[in-house]
Amino acid sequence: MLRLRRQMQIIFQDPFSSLDPKMTVAQIIEEPMKIHKLYSDKKLRARQVVELMRTVGLDERYVNTYPHELDGGRRQRIGVARALALNPKFIVCDEPVSALDVSIQASILNLMMDLKDKLGLTYIFITHDLSVVKHISDDILVLYLGKMVEMTSSDTLFSNPLHPYTKALLSAIPVADLEYRGKEAEVMKGEVTSPINPPAGCRFAARCPKATDRCTKETPEFVEVEPGHSVACHLYG
């Protein structure tokens, strides 16, 4: 597992609580290299730390700084640098910008997209913000209470959503355009099904405007209804 973990890393949601407050920026970024014995030479590790800081847009002068002395954007850049320290192939991004200001979110997202292209990375990007999803994702999987409800490419999901839950999510995205003024969103009504002890049938049935008796009794299968577009709903397939 130790060898496998070198190829898989994670960027956490909270850039403050995920960094050790007793360690400097250099120590935080260097730690994975020491654990995995990536470089035996201490000076070489130090050079790699500085190079990683440059890669993620952190000035070298912060090398001996502690996390609490930096703002949220710089802290998250430390988290990105730490994730890149082992040259991974795959990175899990757990809501990596949700705790940041909107202006800082954009800079972190652009950094991650640049790194993806430059280093050939693969991300699993977990988020509730569909605007972010559209900006960064190639393929999208929509979940409801832990169940897959729809999966397709980013372009297809935003142009042709099929599942009622996906449609409601897209309808809830605020649009900064006066042409959309007065347009009503698809408001989801009803109680959220208990994720601890869900009833039989579709977990979205209690809130779905198109639910039938079948939806409350039979769990829909996750099937491909058109090439590259899968959905779990009795309306299709």
Long-range pairs, 179-183, Cβ under 8 A, ≥24: none
What the block records as the tokens of 229 is 């577009």
Mean pLDDT of 32-39: 91
Name the residue among 200, 98, 192 with its Cα closest to residue 145.
192
pLDDT, one tens digit per residue, over 201-229 is: 999 999 998 999 999 999 999 999 999 99
In this predicted structure, what is the pLDDT of residue 167? Answer: 92
DSSP states of 112-169: HHHHHHHHT-EEEEE-S-HHHHHHH-SEEEEEETTEEEEEEEHHHHHHS--SHHHHHH
| Residue pointed to by tokens 């847009």 | 57
Whole-structure pTM value: 0.84
- Alpha-carbon distance 144 to 31, whole Å? 37
pLDDT digits (tens, 9 = 90+) for 124-135: 999 988 888 888
